[in-house]
Protein backbone atom coordinates (compact mmCIF):
# COMPACT_ATOMS: atom_id res chain seq x y z
CA UNK A 1 0.00 0.00 0.00
CA UNK A 2 1.21 3.49 -0.87
CA UNK A 3 -0.62 6.66 0.22
CA UNK A 4 0.27 9.94 -1.52
CA UNK A 5 -0.70 13.33 -0.11
CA UNK A 6 -0.32 16.31 -2.43
CA UNK A 7 -0.83 19.86 -1.12
CA UNK A 8 -3.34 18.48 1.37
CA UNK A 9 -5.14 20.93 3.62
CA UNK A 10 -7.98 20.89 6.13
CA UNK A 11 -9.89 23.77 7.64
CA UNK A 12 -12.88 24.20 9.91
CA UNK A 13 -14.79 27.37 9.10
CA UNK A 14 -11.98 29.88 8.46
CA UNK A 15 -9.27 28.17 10.52
CA UNK A 16 -6.73 25.97 8.75
CA UNK A 17 -5.65 22.94 10.78
CA UNK A 18 -2.84 22.18 8.33
CA UNK A 19 -2.07 23.14 4.75
CA UNK A 20 0.29 22.36 1.86
CA UNK A 21 1.05 18.88 3.19
CA UNK A 22 2.84 16.77 0.59
CA UNK A 23 4.05 13.37 1.75
CA UNK A 24 4.27 9.72 0.68
CA UNK A 25 3.61 6.78 3.01
CA UNK A 26 5.13 3.51 1.78
CA UNK A 27 4.22 -0.10 2.58
CA UNK A 28 6.69 -1.92 4.80
CA UNK A 29 7.38 1.25 6.77
CA UNK A 30 5.88 2.53 10.02
CA UNK A 31 5.25 6.25 10.47
CA UNK A 32 4.50 8.43 13.48
CA UNK A 33 2.41 11.58 13.10
CA UNK A 34 3.54 13.76 15.98
CA UNK A 35 2.09 16.88 17.56
CA UNK A 36 0.51 18.30 20.69
CA UNK A 37 -3.15 17.72 21.54
CA UNK A 38 -5.37 19.49 19.03
CA UNK A 39 -2.60 19.83 16.45
CA UNK A 40 -4.40 17.82 13.75
CA UNK A 41 -3.04 14.29 14.15
CA UNK A 42 -6.46 12.67 14.45
CA UNK A 43 -7.85 14.85 11.67
CA UNK A 44 -5.14 13.68 9.29
CA UNK A 45 -5.67 10.03 10.22
CA UNK A 46 -9.43 10.28 9.62
CA UNK A 47 -8.79 11.89 6.23
CA UNK A 48 -6.43 9.07 5.25
CA UNK A 49 -9.05 6.57 6.46
CA UNK A 50 -11.76 8.23 4.36
CA UNK A 51 -13.82 9.17 7.44
CA UNK A 52 -13.18 12.86 6.81
CA UNK A 53 -12.70 14.99 3.70
CA UNK A 54 -9.78 17.27 2.95
CA UNK A 55 -10.53 20.91 2.19
CA UNK A 56 -7.95 21.06 -0.57
CA UNK A 57 -5.29 18.95 -2.25
CA UNK A 58 -5.22 15.35 -3.41
CA UNK A 59 -5.08 11.98 -1.69
CA UNK A 60 -4.31 8.84 -3.71
CA UNK A 61 -3.89 5.16 -2.82
CA UNK A 62 -1.96 2.47 -4.68
CA UNK A 63 -1.79 -1.25 -3.95
CA UNK A 64 0.24 -3.69 -6.04
CA UNK A 65 0.78 -1.02 -8.66
CA UNK A 66 -2.96 -0.40 -9.08
CA UNK A 67 -4.84 2.72 -8.04
CA UNK A 68 -7.60 2.27 -5.43
CA UNK A 69 -10.66 4.57 -5.60
CA UNK A 70 -11.14 6.55 -2.40
CA UNK A 71 -14.58 5.04 -1.84
CA UNK A 72 -13.04 1.53 -1.92
CA UNK A 73 -10.00 2.08 0.30
CA UNK A 74 -11.91 1.14 3.47
CA UNK A 75 -11.63 -2.47 2.36
CA UNK A 76 -7.84 -2.25 2.72
CA UNK A 77 -7.49 -0.53 6.10
CA UNK A 78 -8.24 -0.78 9.78
CA UNK A 79 -8.41 2.13 12.21
CA UNK A 80 -8.60 2.30 15.98
CA UNK A 81 -9.05 5.47 18.01
CA UNK A 82 -10.49 6.55 21.40
CA UNK A 83 -13.50 8.17 19.69
CA UNK A 84 -14.55 4.98 17.86
CA UNK A 85 -17.07 2.83 19.68
CA UNK A 86 -17.56 -0.94 19.92
CA UNK A 87 -20.93 -2.67 19.66
CA UNK A 88 -21.42 -3.06 23.40
CA UNK A 89 -24.57 -5.20 23.16
CA UNK A 90 -22.45 -8.06 21.74
CA UNK A 91 -20.52 -10.58 23.74
CA UNK A 92 -16.83 -10.83 22.88
CA UNK A 93 -17.46 -13.89 20.69
CA UNK A 94 -20.34 -12.14 18.92
CA UNK A 95 -18.19 -9.03 18.40
CA UNK A 96 -15.48 -11.07 16.70
CA UNK A 97 -17.99 -13.00 14.59
CA UNK A 98 -19.51 -9.71 13.43
CA UNK A 99 -16.17 -8.02 12.74
CA UNK A 100 -14.65 -10.91 10.78
CA UNK A 101 -17.61 -11.03 8.40
CA UNK A 102 -16.23 -7.77 6.99
CA UNK A 103 -12.53 -8.01 7.85
CA UNK A 104 -10.98 -11.51 8.00
CA UNK A 105 -8.03 -11.98 10.32
CA UNK A 106 -4.39 -12.10 9.25
CA UNK A 107 -2.77 -15.47 8.53
CA UNK A 108 -6.16 -17.24 8.78
CA UNK A 109 -6.14 -16.73 12.54
CA UNK A 110 -9.28 -18.09 14.22
CA UNK A 111 -11.47 -15.97 16.49
CA UNK A 112 -10.61 -18.25 19.41
CA UNK A 113 -6.89 -17.78 18.75
CA UNK A 114 -7.32 -13.99 18.67
CA UNK A 115 -9.11 -14.09 22.02
CA UNK A 116 -6.13 -16.01 23.40
CA UNK A 117 -3.68 -13.45 21.98
CA UNK A 118 -5.68 -10.61 23.54
CA UNK A 119 -5.63 -12.39 26.91
CA UNK A 120 -9.42 -12.27 27.15
CA UNK A 121 -10.18 -16.01 27.37
CA UNK A 122 -12.25 -15.65 30.54
CA UNK A 123 -14.41 -12.96 28.96
CA UNK A 124 -15.42 -14.63 25.70
CA UNK A 125 -19.10 -14.81 26.73
CA UNK A 126 -19.11 -11.49 28.54
CA UNK A 127 -20.93 -8.48 27.08
CA UNK A 128 -18.60 -5.80 25.78
CA UNK A 129 -20.55 -3.18 27.77
CA UNK A 130 -19.31 -4.90 30.94
CA UNK A 131 -15.64 -4.70 29.93
CA UNK A 132 -13.30 -2.32 31.71
CA UNK A 133 -11.93 0.59 29.67
CA UNK A 134 -8.60 -1.23 29.38
CA UNK A 135 -10.25 -4.41 28.11
CA UNK A 136 -12.20 -2.42 25.53
CA UNK A 137 -9.01 -0.77 24.30
CA UNK A 138 -7.22 -4.11 24.07
CA UNK A 139 -10.17 -5.44 22.05
CA UNK A 140 -10.05 -2.44 19.69
CA UNK A 141 -6.33 -2.92 19.19
CA UNK A 142 -6.63 -6.67 18.70
CA UNK A 143 -9.28 -6.23 16.00
CA UNK A 144 -7.23 -3.55 14.23
CA UNK A 145 -3.79 -5.16 14.46
CA UNK A 146 -4.92 -8.67 13.54
CA UNK A 147 -7.31 -7.78 10.71
CA UNK A 148 -6.07 -8.66 7.25
CA UNK A 149 -5.45 -5.06 6.17
CA UNK A 150 -2.69 -3.44 4.15
CA UNK A 151 -3.00 -0.14 6.02
CA UNK A 152 -3.14 0.04 9.83
CA UNK A 153 -4.02 3.40 11.41
CA UNK A 154 -3.53 3.78 15.18
CA UNK A 155 -4.69 6.94 16.91
CA UNK A 156 -3.50 7.28 20.54
CA UNK A 157 -3.34 3.48 20.77
CA UNK A 158 -2.50 3.07 24.46
CA UNK A 159 -5.36 5.21 25.81
CA UNK A 160 -6.79 3.48 28.93
CA UNK A 161 -4.02 0.84 28.99
CA UNK A 162 -1.94 0.15 32.09
CA UNK A 163 1.75 -0.76 31.92
CA UNK A 164 0.97 -4.39 31.16
CA UNK A 165 -1.40 -3.32 28.39
CA UNK A 166 1.21 -1.02 26.88
CA UNK A 167 3.71 -3.88 26.81
CA UNK A 168 1.06 -6.07 25.12
CA UNK A 169 0.47 -3.40 22.46
CA UNK A 170 4.18 -2.99 21.75
CA UNK A 171 4.68 -6.75 21.43
CA UNK A 172 1.76 -7.42 19.12
CA UNK A 173 2.12 -4.43 16.83
CA UNK A 174 5.81 -5.36 16.38
CA UNK A 175 4.79 -8.91 15.43
CA UNK A 176 2.41 -7.62 12.75
CA UNK A 177 4.46 -4.97 10.94
CA UNK A 178 5.59 -7.08 8.02
CA UNK A 179 4.00 -6.41 4.64
CA UNK A 180 1.82 -3.48 5.68
CA UNK A 181 1.84 0.27 6.13
CA UNK A 182 1.38 1.47 9.73
CA UNK A 183 0.66 5.09 10.70
CA UNK A 184 0.45 6.10 14.38
CA UNK A 185 -0.94 9.41 15.63
CA UNK A 186 0.59 10.16 19.01
CA UNK A 187 2.53 12.45 21.31
CA UNK A 188 3.62 9.63 23.64
CA UNK A 189 6.96 8.04 22.82
CA UNK A 190 6.11 4.48 23.83
CA UNK A 191 3.23 4.44 21.33
CA UNK A 192 5.45 5.08 18.30
CA UNK A 193 8.90 3.88 19.41
CA UNK A 194 8.84 1.16 16.71
CA UNK A 195 8.20 3.62 13.88
CA UNK A 196 10.79 4.20 11.16
CA UNK A 197 9.77 7.73 10.13
CA UNK A 198 8.22 10.78 11.80
CA UNK A 199 5.96 13.49 10.39
CA UNK A 200 5.41 16.57 12.56
CA UNK A 201 1.99 17.98 11.75
CA UNK A 202 2.97 21.34 13.26
CA UNK A 203 5.34 21.87 10.31
CA UNK A 204 2.21 22.37 8.19
CA UNK A 205 0.30 24.75 10.43
CA UNK A 206 -0.76 28.09 9.03
CA UNK A 207 0.26 31.13 11.07
CA UNK A 208 -2.73 33.49 11.34
CA UNK A 209 -2.27 36.96 9.88
CA UNK A 210 -2.20 39.79 12.40
pLDDT value at residue 207: 60
**pLDDT of the residue at 38:** 87
Output the pLDDT for position 209: 55
Span 172-207, pLDDT tens digits: 999 999 999 999 999 999 999 999 999 999 999 876
pLDDT digits (tens, 9 = 90+) for 47-62: 999 999 999 999 999 9
pLDDT for 14 equals: 86
Say how many C-beta atoms besides its own lie within 10 A of residue 64's C-beta.
9
Domain ranges of the chain: 2-204
Residue 206 pLDDT: 72
- Backbone φ and ψ for 159, nearest 5 degrees, come out as -55, 130
Evaluate if pTM is beyond 0.85.
yes
Q: Which residues of the chain have pLDDT under 70?
A: 207-210
80: enclosing H helix or E strand? strand 77-80
* Fold observed for domain 2-204: Rossmann fold (3.40.50)
115-120, long-range: CB within 8 Å, 24+ apart, which pairs?
A: 117/142, 117/146, 117/172, 118/142, 119/168, 120/92
Amino acid sequence: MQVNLTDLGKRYNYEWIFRKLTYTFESGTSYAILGHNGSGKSTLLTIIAGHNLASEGQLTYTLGGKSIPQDEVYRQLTLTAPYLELVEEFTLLEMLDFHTRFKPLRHSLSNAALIDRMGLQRSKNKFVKDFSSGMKQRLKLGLAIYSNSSLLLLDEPTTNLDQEGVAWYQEHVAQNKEGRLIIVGSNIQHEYSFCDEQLRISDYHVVPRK
